Amino acid sequence: MASGQSIAGIVQQALAEALDLDHDAVYQVSTSGAIFDGVFEGFVTVADLRRHGDLGIGTFDSIDGELIMVDGQCYQARSDGSVRIAPDDLLTPFASVCWHHADASLEIDGGVDWAGLAEMIDQRRESANATVGIRIDGHFDRLHVRAACRTESGVDLAEATSHQAEFVHRDLDGTLVGFWTPQFVRAIGIPGYHVHCISADRRFGGHLLDLEGHHLRVELNWTNDLRLAMPAHGAFMTADLAAPDDAVVRAVEGQSASVRDR
């Protein structure tokens, strides 16, 4: 086929669209246990990922930067601070995407930091047992982000991100995308908030560490279905897929290294 997609894949996609099978579903590549254990080999293409959603987050083969999907376009925020449109043939070892629609929304006019914004979202979440897709658009006085540096498989994620690149961007419009994931799926998904961001001009992006913003619109998408794509060979088959410890998750999600102000 000219698109590179198999006939079986085209039929499966058409059936999913016709039967609305991806509605309110999160499609996830691999598990948190695998990525934390150092399984960084990509096995699902960006093209395949885009067939399952228009909003999402993740990383790329050898954890080469941060994956941000917004409005159906997939971007790669790299450790040198650059952002590019991710080629359709680029591979991901870990990602989560969904078809975004706003089941609930809130407008925030005053100034807020990430802790305050997360608390506001917590008050709107309907359950501690359901994954929530998140999109936030608005103006940010300050965005503190990180981008993972390319690392080959075999090094656990805590060590791999100990030398991550961090940046601070100021006074820009942008979009945050991500998920809140319940504790009970911690061996599969990263529990709590996992959010990436990208500027409106698509020049800056990364994994969100902190923010200061105002005039924000928050859209929340309730999900009730989780679909997993898992590799059938390679390091995944012998990896320790147990849930990562809370301390390790906190270290990876909020670790600090050198910070560059942009």
Model pLDDT for residues 159-183, shown as the tens digit of each residue: 777 778 999 999 999 999 999 999 9
Q: b/e per residue, 63-84, with b = 16+ CB within 10 A?
A: bbbbbbbbeeebbbbbbebebe
More confident residue, 260 or 58: 58
Per-residue pLDDT band for 21 (boundaries 50, 70, 90) equals low
| Span 131-139, average pLDDT | 97
Q: What is the CATH number of the domain that holds 213?
A: 3.30.1330.80
**pLDDT band for position 107 (50/70/90)?**
very high
Query: Taking a C-beta distance cutoff of 8 angstroms, is the pair 146, 206 a contact?
Result: yes
- pLDDT above 80 for 86: yes
Kind of pairing between the strands at 165-181 and 259-261: parallel
Residue 240 lies in a domain: yes
pLDDT in tens, 182-207: 999 988 999 999 999 999 999 999 99
Question: What is the extent of the structural domain holding 62?
Answer: 7-261
Distance from the first to the final alpha carbon of the chain = 44
Asked if the structure places residue 190 within a domain, the reply is yes
Name the more confident of 238 and 142.
142
Rounded Cα distance, 69 and 191, in Å: 20
In a domain, 2, yes or no: no
Distance (Å, whole) CA 197 – CA 207: 6
How many of the other CB atoms lie within 10 Å of CB of 152? Answer: 12
**What is the pLDDT confidence band of residue 17, given thresholds at 50, 70 and 90?**
low
pTM to 2 decimal places = 0.86
For the cut 60, the answer to whether the pLDDT of residue 256 exceeds it is no
- Answer whether residue 210 is part of any domain: yes
Q: How many residues would you count in the chain?
A: 262
Query: Using an 8 Å Cβ cutoff, are 36 and 244 in contact?
Result: yes
Residue with tokens 């070892």: 93
Q: Where is pLDDT greater, at 137 or 241?
A: 137
Does residue 1 lie in a domain region?
no
Residue 242 confidence class, pLDDT cut points 50, 70, 90: confident
Does residue 11 sit within a domain?
Answer: yes
Does residue 156 sit within a domain? yes
- Residue 63 near residue 106 (C-beta atoms within 8 A): no
pLDDT band, residue 153 (cuts 50/70/90)? confident
Q: How many domains does the chain have?
A: 1
Instruction: Give a yes or no: residue 241 inside a domain.
Output: yes
Q: How confident is the model at residue 18 (pLDDT cuts 50, 70, 90)?
A: low
